[in-house]
């Protein structure tokens, strides 16, 4: 497997993403853009990229803080709030990162998806709302709110979000608003709800944050990953 850092620039800021691809496989294959949890592109998201590459995808994990930085949560929250107030900024960064993925010689540019975790899931959804040519966008414990719900009309692919019922970051009112947004735009969407599960349920190290309602949940981690692969099989065919 080849793994390498590839940078890109948006608005004068250099971002450093992480590519994983199995060069031993012949031919082009679907490309998956990954967006990390709020603090930034760390080892966990990179491991997900390698896992996807092992399965036959071209995987590129994006950076949205610049310089490949992983921020302390309070610092990350400030940047995330700015992106949420005006999603054009994160859409531009994600669109440029998607361009890096598309430029890889192994990538079948007609078969693209974006996935993300926490604010990374929000990023994948905002990229879809921007009208990006995605077959699927998947969020894991992803914030569902947007300042531009009308842009759901631009979504071209299928949407999957995996949410813990007890997630303090994504209350049921936000889930209901997302349901209305997707349905009004006639999007092909699905939402998996996991009972007794909180935020960051895919992160085995999240307990170190010592935040109420943040906890790893191995069964939901496995189930949500399987749900994503099922959607990929649906939109891409078997890899």
- pTM score of the predicted model: 0.98
What are the pLDDT digits (tens) for 99-123? 999 999 999 999 999 999 999 999 9
| CATH number for the domain that contains residue 98 | 3.40.50.1820
What are the pLDDT digits (tens) for 197-229? 999 999 999 999 999 999 999 999 999 999 999
Average pLDDT, the chain: 97
Rounded Cα–Cα distance for residues 38 and 122 (Å)? 10
Residue 19 has what pLDDT?
Answer: 98
Length of the chain: 239
The domain in which residue 67 lies consists of: 2-236
Chain centroid, CA 68 distance in Å: 16
Q: How many CB atoms lie within 10 A of CB 148?
A: 15
pLDDT at 238 > cutoff 90 = no
What are the pLDDT digits (tens) for 49-99? 999 999 999 999 999 999 999 999 889 999 999 999 999 999 999 999 999
Residue 73 has what pLDDT?
Answer: 86
Q: How many domains does the chain have?
A: 1
């Amino acid at each position: 497997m080849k793994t390498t850092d590839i940078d890109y620039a948006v608005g004068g800021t250099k971002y450093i993403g992480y590519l994983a691809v199995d060069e031993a496989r012949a031919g082009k294959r679907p490309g998956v853009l990954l967006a990390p949890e709020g603090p930034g592109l760390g080892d966990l998201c990179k491991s997900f990229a390698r896992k996807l590459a092992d399965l036959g995808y071209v995987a590129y994990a994006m950076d949205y803080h610049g310089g490949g930085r992983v921020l302390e949560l309070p610092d990350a929250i400030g940047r995330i709030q700015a992106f949420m107030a005006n999603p054009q900024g994160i859409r531009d960064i994600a669109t440029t990162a998607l361009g890096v993925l598309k430029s890889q010689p192994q990538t079948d540019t007609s078969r693209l998806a974006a996935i993300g975790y926490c604010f990374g899931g929000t990023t994948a959804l905002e990229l879809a709302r921007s009208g990006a040519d995605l077959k699927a966008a998947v969020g894991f414990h992803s914030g569902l709110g947007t300042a531009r719900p009308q842009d759901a009309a631009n979504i071209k692919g299928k949407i999957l979000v995996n949410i813990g019922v007890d997630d303090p970051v994504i209350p049921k009112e936000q889930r209901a608003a997302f349901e209305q947004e997707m349905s009004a735009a006639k999007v092909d969407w699905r939402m998996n709800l996991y009972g007794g599960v909180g935020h960051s349920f895919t992160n085995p190290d999240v307990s170190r944050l010592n935040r109420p309602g943040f906890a790893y949940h191995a069964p939901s981690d496995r189930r949500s990953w399987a749900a994503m692969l099922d959607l990929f099989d649906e939109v891409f065919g078997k890899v």
